[in-house]
């Protein structure tokens, strides 16, 4: 599991922290897990894209 850091001061924060213990900036969970969420969405998009391609490309496209 990757360490979460405050986007304001770079201090290492705990996942359950609501505010940064160093600079008291409120932390948003969405911000902390944004890259992971984006990766999942990207992965799902790629899978859907593959299925669409498989559906539209003729079965004999390898020949
Ligand atoms: Zn901070």
- Taking the centre of ligand 1 as the mean of its atom positions, its distance from the CA of residue 24, in whole angstroms, is 6
| Alpha carbons 50 and 35: distance in angstroms, whole number | 22
d(CA 58, CA 61): 6
Contact 14, 4 (CB under 8 A): yes
The Cα 31–Cα 19 span in angstroms is: 13
CA of residue 41 to ligand 1 center, whole Å: 28
Beta strands 12-13 and 4-5 are antiparallel
pTM beyond 0.95, yes or no: no
Q: For residue range 6-41, what is the model confidence (pLDDT) as tens digits? A: 888 999 988 888 889 999 988 776 555 667 788 899
Closest CA to 11 of 28, 62, 19: 19
Distance from the alpha carbon of residue 33 to the mean position of ligand 1, in angstroms: 16
**Bigger pLDDT: 46 or 35?**
46
Q: Taking the domains of the chain in order of start, what are their residue ranges?
A: 4-56
């Amino acid at each position: 599991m990757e360490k979460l850091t405050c986007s304001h001061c770079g201090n290492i924060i705990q996942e359950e922290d609501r505010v940064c213990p160093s600079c008291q900036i409120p932390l948003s969970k969405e911000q902390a897990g944004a890259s992971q969420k984006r990766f999942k969405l990207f992965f799902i998009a790629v899978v859907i894209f593959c299925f669409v391609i498989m559906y539209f490309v003729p079965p004999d496209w390898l020949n």
